[in-house]
Structure 1
Amino acid sequence: MRDYQRIATLIGKQVGIKLPPAKRLMVEGRLRRRLRHLQLDTFAQYGDFLFRQDGLERELPYLINAVTTNKTDFFREPEHFECMERVLVPALLSARQDRMPLLKVWSAASSTGAEAYTIAMVLADMAAARRDFRFAVLGTDISTEVLETGRRAVYPAELVAPVPPGMQSRFLMHPRRPGARPEVRIAPELRRQVRFDRLNLMDESYPYDRDVDIIFLRNVLIYFEKSDQAAVISRLVGHLRPGGYLLLGHSESMIGTSITMRQIAPAVFQKV
């Protein structure tokens, strides 16, 4: 139990995630693969390896990968993508004076990339129809494992079920010889519009542009302490252009009450 508390404290300081005692069994379950890889028999041995044998520095990325929650879906909370299409993008473009402006959208807790590619699908269809803007999508996450999934852009076929049929035909590729578990890959023209980068939201600053148009930060702040929530939001808002938008998860709508931004829809805020 003492080693679990040290792990929980470490994760809290490193990535802001709360791991109360009630989550001990979940964490131990997620770490079993690491124990097998390290040829360790017990969690006590893992704690000894981490804290008393100087294994922490090289083990920390794997520990973070194991304990971070990576729940994600294509078109999760679809109202936000409808809002982006019908309200946010038209408003952003009407405020721009430059010809063929580049819209920058950031998925700040991108997990395996489903959110980033959903954003890209919606923007690609809009760009094809309007022909008056370009776009780029950035996906960031603390977990190296999920970022690699995003870069590969290969997903189980059942995961893309929420993608509308027309978008499936335009943006998804199916293998010529499906395996026992069918998979699809995001089409290369869409993959080129999305890049993935590792970022710890707990860092004091973020090495990205400060004229981002839309930031998605959905369903991650609920795992943070209130002081960390405020600090992360403050840093991200600093990367929005005036008039840009921050989208939180619907379960995080109360977190947004402390933001000095204009709320324009449920969990959607505009920098003024």
Structure 2
Amino acid sequence: MPALARAPQRLDEDDHLTPTDFQRISALIGQEVGIRLPPGKRLMVEGRLRRRLRALGLAGFEAYGDYLFRQNGLEQERPHLINAVTTNKTDFFREPEHFEIMEKTLVPTLLAGRTDRQPLLKVWSAASSTGAEAYSIAMLLADMVTRGRSFRFAVLGTDISTDVLEQGRRAIYPAEQIAPVPPALQSRYLMFSRRPGTRPEVRIVPELRRHVQFQRLNLMDQSYPYDRDVDIIFLRNVLIYFDKADQTKVITRLTAHLRPGGYLLLGHSESMIGTDVAVRQVAPAVFQKL
């Protein structure tokens, strides 16, 4: 690693990436992750990168651009850069209509078509962020089993950001974040920290964590190293960051991992218009593979 300048106590808020360095970062993120970063996103990118400047001990964005592109630091910094600029908005039981239809329609329909005595349902959260979606899925499925449905389940959470995947594996969240979780599920699947003087936190119980695993995946990869008999894939509020061509490629690759009759769930602001994937819409933003 090249020698780095000692950072000041406070970075200059008027300091900015040069247009050339921002364009190079934007092109890199677009090529590797598929996320578009037009010039209007420059201030957002700079805001997220200031922590990296402090961590590296850099005096400003000019030094960061030098480190990335003129001092051969890009290879080492690449995962940190991707972690910093990717969006990781998530909540427990976000867009609750999807969880309701999953419980009342999707899971019963999938189970009705299976002859196994205790079939294994596979659910994939394809942009899992910190894991709130994956654990929401696991809570719902575990609760269905508790109430008498006979099946096993496994949940896979994937994301490109190593930071959020690590939080998912730790399964520790600020207590205020679990407000959308129904009280009965909170009492069954969450452990509440009682340490005095600290910010209240909760942790997913180990019995539920055993059903969920997290792995790094770039949706822009040409293939995904996962099973091709997945029952339900959640891909919500991700496609909005991709251009149309990349949206089609990602949807095509993901649906190839669904079993016939499996379901793909998109965000309510997203659609399959313009794609040639063989699916039928069964509910708002819910599609079944033909």
Give the TM-score normalised by structure 2: 0.92
By how many angstroms is 1:52 displaced? 1.2
- Is structure 2 residue 112 aligned with structure 1 residue 85? no
1:45 deviates by: 1.2
Give distance in 2, aligned partners of 1:68 and 1:22: 15
Counterpart for residue 130 of structure 2: 112
**Cα 1:267/1:256, change in 2 over 3 Å:** farther
Q: Which residue of 2 aligns with 1:103?
A: 121
TM-superposed CA distance for 1:47, in Å, is 1.0
* SS at structure 2 position matched to 1:105: strand
Q: Which is further off, 39-48 or 232-241?
A: 39-48
The structure with the greater share of residues assigned to helix is 1
Equivalent in the alignment of 2:190: 172
RMSD: 1.0
CA offsets 1:61-88 (integer angstroms, 9 cap, x no match): 0000000000000010000000100000
Aligned to 2:163: 145
Are 1:203 and 2:184 matched, yes or no? Answer: no
Q: Which residue of 1 is the match for residue 288 of structure 2? A: 270
Matches within 5 A, 1:1-272: 1-253=19-271, 255-256=272-273, 258=275, 259-272=277-290
Given that 1:210 and 1:238 are in contact with CA atoms closer than 8 Å, whether structure 2 keeps it comes out as yes
Determine if contact 1:216/1:247 at 8 Å carries over to the other structure.
Answer: yes
Gaps of 5+ in 2: 1-18
Specify the code of the residue in structure 1 equivalent to 2:46: E
SS state of the match for residue 139, structure 2?
helix
Change (3 A) 1:105 1:118: same
Shift of 1:179: 3.7
The Cα of 1:180 is off from its aligned counterpart by 3.3
CA distance, structure 1, for counterparts of residue 117 and residue 77 of structure 2: 48
Say which SS state the counterpart of residue 177 (structure 1) adopts.
coil
How far apart in 2 are the matches of 1:21 and 1:176?
Answer: 46
Do the aligned residues in 2 keep the contact of 1:256 with 1:267 (CA within 8 Å)? no
Give the deviation of 1:173 after TM superposition.
0.1
- Measured after TM superposition, the shift of residue 131 of structure 1 is 3.9
CA contact (8 A) 1:105 1:215 kept: yes
Question: Which letter does structure 2 place at the counterpart of 1:50?
Answer: L
Identical residues among aligned pairs (%): 75
Q: 1:149 to 1:165 in 2, by over 3 A?
A: same
Distance 1:110 1:228 in 2: 19
Paired with 2:241 and 2:121, the residues of 1 have a C-alpha distance of 29
CA contact (8 A) 1:49 1:55 kept: yes
Aligned residue-pair number: 271
Q: Partners in 2 of 1:190 and 1:32 — Cα distance?
A: 36
The residue type equivalent to 1:52 in the other structure is R
- Counterpart-to-counterpart distance in 2, 1:42 and 1:174: 41
Q: CA deviation at 1:130?
A: 2.6
CA, structure 1 residues 269+256, in 2 after alignment: closer, same or farther (shift >3 Å)?
A: farther
Partner SS state of residue 147, structure 2? helix
SS in 2 for 1:92: helix
Q: Which runs of 5+ in 1 are unaligned?
A: none
- The CA deviation at 1:39 is 1.2
CA distance in 1, matches of 2:197, 2:111: 44
Paired residue secondary structure (1:72): coil
